Amino acid sequence: MASAGRNANPTMGAGILPVEKEEQFNEFYTEVKEIEKRDSVLTPKQQIDRLLRPGSTYFNLNPYEVLQVEADSTLDEVKKKYKRLSILVHPDKNQDDPDRAQQAFEIVNRAWKTLENEETRAKCLDVIEEAKARTDHMISEKRKKLKREGKEPRVEEDDAANYKHAVYVMTMKLFADMERKRRDLEQRDMEERKRKREQEIEEEEKATIEKEWQKNFEESRQNRVESWKAFQAASSGSGKTKNKKVRGGFKPPKHKAESR
């Protein structure tokens, strides 16, 4: 069971997959259980088919489902089942279908690593506990509705097998919803990193342009200063030439008295 001292379950209040998905969940669950009745271990090919069949992506989010063990199984029991499954689906034992065997093998290994780790195992147990709580609430609402309608408050989940199936379906929905939220957060995070990087590139380009402009300005300023100095020197020289007295220059004639 999940420890009461842990933080609030991150899936509480989360939405679930659309209702139309429930039929796919139910169909897959029924097919798998029918196979399990024929063979509690399943052959290598059947295990590979189970782990890779259409729609298995969401089911494989539940490590207990992947390893076909109950949530209250001990870690030693889980480890034993993991070893048996990993041998069954190992690529070396399925050389006629190595690629699919490798995929199945990786799924089994990922499930074991999840349950082997105390923190991630606790999160999985939290999901299962929430699934039970939601299922119990759903049953309670069904009973209330039947009472209001004046009917006997008996529901199909009163049967142990049906109750277990209802919890199973709810568990799958919660795992699927968690994965969808994880992907959404990952997508948003990726977009945010991309936005920041684009902003950094834009700022770097602006800084480069500013630096280049400043460099060009300094170079042109020096040219302007030199041009101004040359102009000043030329202007000063021209003025001196105009004001200089020229020896032997023009002299006005003397005034003569007017003769009568």
Residue 248: predicted pLDDT: 52
What CATH number does the domain containing 55 carry? 1.10.287.110
Per-residue pLDDT band for 1 (boundaries 50, 70, 90) equals very low
Q: What is the pLDDT of residues 106-154, one digit of tens each?
A: 999 999 999 999 999 999 999 999 999 999 999 999 999 999 999 998 9
Residue 254: predicted pLDDT: 60
- Compute the half-sphere exposure of residue 120: CA atoms within 13 Å on the CB side of its CA: 13
Distance between CA atoms of residues 79 and 67, nearest Å: 9
CB 112 within 8 A of CB 121: no
* Residue 107 placed within a domain: yes
CA distances, 248 to each of 243, 245, 254 (Å): 15, 9, 17
Residues 6+ apart with CB under 8 A from 93: 44, 87, 101
CA distances, 200 to each of 188, 191, 192, 236 (Å): 18, 14, 12, 53
* Residue 247 placed within a domain: no
Per-residue pLDDT band for 33 (boundaries 50, 70, 90) equals low
Section 186-208 average pLDDT: 84
Q: What is the pTM of this model?
A: 0.58
* Residue 175 placed within a domain: yes
Count of domains observed in the chain? 1
Q: What is the pLDDT of residues 247-260, one digit of tens each?
A: 555 555 665 565 55
Please tell me which of 17-26, 64-73, 233-242 the model is most confident about, judged by mean pLDDT: 64-73
Q: What is the pLDDT of residues 167-190, one digit of tens each?
A: 999 999 999 998 888 888 888 878
Section 181-210 average pLDDT: 84
Q: Exposed, middle or buried by CB within 10 Å (0-12, 13-18, 19+), for 93?
A: middle
Domain interval for residue 141 = 21-190
* Residue 117 placed within a domain: yes
Per-residue pLDDT band for 235 (boundaries 50, 70, 90) equals confident
* Residue 115 placed within a domain: yes
Residue 2 in this model has a pLDDT that exceeds 50: no
CA-based nearest residue to 44, from 132, 127, 120, 104: 104
Residue 233 in this model has a pLDDT that exceeds 80: no
- Residue with tokens 């309670």, as numbered in its chain: 140
* Residue 61 placed within a domain: yes
* Residue 91 placed within a domain: yes
* Residue 201 placed within a domain: no
